[in-house]
Amino acid sequence: MAKTRALGRGLGALLDDSGSDIVSKSLSSPKEDAGGSVSGISISEIEANPFQPRTRFDQEKLDELSASISQLGIIQPITLRKVRQNKYQIISGERRFRASQLAGLTEVPAYIRVANDQTMLEMALVENIQRDNLDAIEVAISYQRLIDECSLTQEALGERVGKKRSTITNYLRLLKLPPQIQKAIMDRVLTMGHARAIINIDDESEQLQLFKEIVRGGLSVRAAEQASKSAKASGVTAKKELPIEYQRIQDNVKRQLDAEIGLKVNAKGKGSLSISFDNEKELKRVLSILDLWP
């Protein structure tokens, strides 16, 4: 039998400290399943991870994530370790947990870990990945869990699941997409091919714009890839041509309208200003601020 990789200090120490964990190897309820099922856990029963290396969280980004969670819910569950009766400790997902608190949630979806179940978790996740009915985001989340909780590198993960490192990387990049796009992938509105075209664009507002074009126009993957190349090229040009005073204008308009703004200006001063919105309600809100709604 191959020797199991030793976990480093931090997550490994947290998982191996069985003295403070009351959960036995014989799980007594589905809520304590260490495999792939998700449970709803009360926020009041969750405490921070003492091994969390990050001590400062960007408040603006937390507020943005909180707003997204209020609208779409939590797409990627957090991972908890049960430390005593009705008390759980965060293994991964503290940023999502904090944003959920800001959003006023009383419960969050979570995976529950059992102390010293390293091999069991790894086997369960790898087996879960092999299922044919998983969407791309579910696969990506499983890959991320194996990396975070089992201390695997992308190379080692590729060996475990029989995939090239580039394939692993492409899936993991999906988790950096805006929540609206991740949800569309989970709902199978977008294919993996469409998602890869979108993620090749660096700017989030441009990603959302292409996403809307794909959905509205029913674009094929090839058409989405061409649109992605065009958007990326125009985005680079716009960034090079946008003087600092126009950047300030763009930031000010974005702040005033609380919406994604696209400002493009060429060397002659000619350009365009675009305002992105997700639905009719959002459009009415922006137009009301501009005093343009009847």
- Residues carrying an active site annotation: 94
Q: Which of 206, 262, 269, 204 lies closest to 243 in space, CA to CA?
A: 269
CA distance 146 to 144: 5
CA distance 196 to 293: 37
Cβ neighbourhood burial of 215 (10 Å; 0-12, 13-18, 19+): middle
Which tokens hold the place of 224?
Answer: 């989405």
CB 138 within 8 A of CB 167: no
Q: How many CB atoms lie within 10 A of CB 84?
A: 11
Which tokens hold the place of 158?
Answer: 């590729």
R_g over Cα of the chain: 22
CB 174 within 8 A of CB 137: yes
Q: How many CB atoms lie within 10 A of CB 53?
A: 7
